[in-house]
Structure 1
Amino acid sequence: MPPEDNCNYRFLLADDHSLIRQGMEFVIEEIGLEGDIFHASNLNKLMEIIEKESIDFAIIDAMFPDGNSLAVIPEIKKNSPKTKILVFSGLDERSQSLRYINAGADGFLSKMSEEEETKEAVTRFCKEGKYLSSVTQSALVEVYINPNAANPLQKLTSRELQIAELYAKGLGNLEIANILEVKQNTISTTKKRIFEKLDIENIVELIDLLKIS
């Protein structure tokens, strides 16, 4: 459960952009919350703080220079079960939020949100220990109606999934092309299509997605 009103909160703000962290700290102060605020600019620092401090609320980005927060959300919950996690990200909320919720996050807030919406979201997150926007709620309803919608890998053809798994094993374009006996250009084109379908930008994200799907 989140701390009761009038208690001192312990926040962790994790984002590789200091302006984003400062902006969120301003939001926290604006809505009248008090307590200690810790900052992290990468995943290593994030986990270091989680392990050393008793964090009530972690507001974290989805992507960092050293990886995707999908990889550490389960670790945060393992090390500090009481810590509530709000993912604050510029990723497309409709297609991406459930990935983070499924990994253990307690909410997802888009960086495209207006200031008042951000304040309301953080307020609700701190009072209730969770935050689900109308967009994420709509995505949850869609998954209820169509369970396959929860797994973005369902968007891939069997061939694309095979190639994605080979990339995840550390193979390069030439090696995959030789294994599948196709041209290297074909593999490169397929890789681009996989990334577009999954709305990801690199192999690290692909590996994380394969782990939780």
Structure 2
Amino acid sequence: MISVALIDDHAMMRTGLRLILEKAGGFEIVGEAGDGEAGLALLKKLEPDVALLDLHMPCLTGIEVTERARKADLRTRIVIVTVAGDSPFPRRLLEAGAAGYVTKACSDDELLQGIRQVADGRRYLAASIAQQLAMEAVTGTGGSPFDALSKRELEVAIRFAQGDDALTTGRHLRISNKTISTHKANIFAKLDIDNVVALAHLAQLHGLLDPGSACETANGTQRKPRD
């Protein structure tokens, strides 16, 4: 029996995942959380075999939860769930330390395969993501523009794209406003953009944000990315 935690800010998504796992059998859902902070606390308390983790969440993003779980030396192996569309998948996400990456558009069979493979101690990349990365290697074409960012810049970029301001971003990442400003300037320069609206658009294209998530807060009220 593989113990699984579901961490996603959309209750409907968690319900769908739960139904898939319960129907398949061989899985035990040991807990759920609706934001990254609660999710990390859940992982520290229960240490399930596998955690299915949304990339974009309030409080802490999927990347941040993954890195903190790794630093805490938790036994849980994390599978990031991303929207990852037709645009190149950011290789930088692979450096976050997750054991697997699946897309929200993947089939039930692929999701189950990914969880089982990760629980068995191996890594798993969704077929669409693996094919995309392989094609980039064969053709020599450039990947995602987010590959130009450092790991920390990617974290800052995701937070700004989802609508967080500098103060909120600095608090969650535990870095100063001055450092945040430096990262923001570097992000804009590397991505060849000059505002956060353009950043949010790019982030959605490359699977870093759910469609429309840059305009939503955790409680469902509307907000816009801040320049």
**Shorter-chain TM-score: which interval?**
0.5 to 0.7
**TM-score (normalised: structure 2):** 0.60
| Corresponding residue of 1:181 | none
Counterparts in 2 of 1:94 and 1:132: CA distance versus 1, 3 Å: farther
| Corresponding residue of 1:86 | 79
The separation in 2 between residues aligned to 1:93 and 1:32, in whole angstroms, is 32
Letter aligned with residue 42 of structure 1: D
**TM-score (normalised: structure 1):** 0.63
The separation in 2 between residues aligned to 1:90 and 1:63, in whole angstroms, is 10
The separation in 2 between residues aligned to 1:98 and 1:74, in whole angstroms, is 16
Pairing 1:95–2:88 present: yes
Higher-helix-fraction structure: 1
- Name which one, 1 or 2, has greater alpha-carbon Rg: 1
The separation in 2 between residues aligned to 1:34 and 1:154, in whole angstroms, is 38
The separation in 2 between residues aligned to 1:137 and 1:194, in whole angstroms, is 25
| CA-CA distance at 1:31 after TM superposition | 2.2
| Corresponding residue of 2:21 | 28
| Corresponding residue of 1:43 | 36
Letter aligned with residue 129 of structure 2: T
Counterparts in 2 of 1:141 and 1:101: CA distance versus 1, 3 Å: same
| CA-CA distance at 1:59 after TM superposition | 0.6
| CA-CA distance at 1:148 after TM superposition | 6.4
Counterparts in 2 of 1:122 and 1:30: CA distance versus 1, 3 Å: farther
Pairing 1:136–2:129 present: yes
| Corresponding residue of 1:58 | 51
| Corresponding residue of 1:9 | 2
Gaps of 5+ in 2: 150-156, 158-165, 167-178, 186-192, 215-227
Gaps of 5+ in 1: 1-7, 156-163, 177-185, 203-213
* 1:177-198 Cα distance to aligned partner (Å, 9 max, x none): xxxxxxxxx944xx44444345
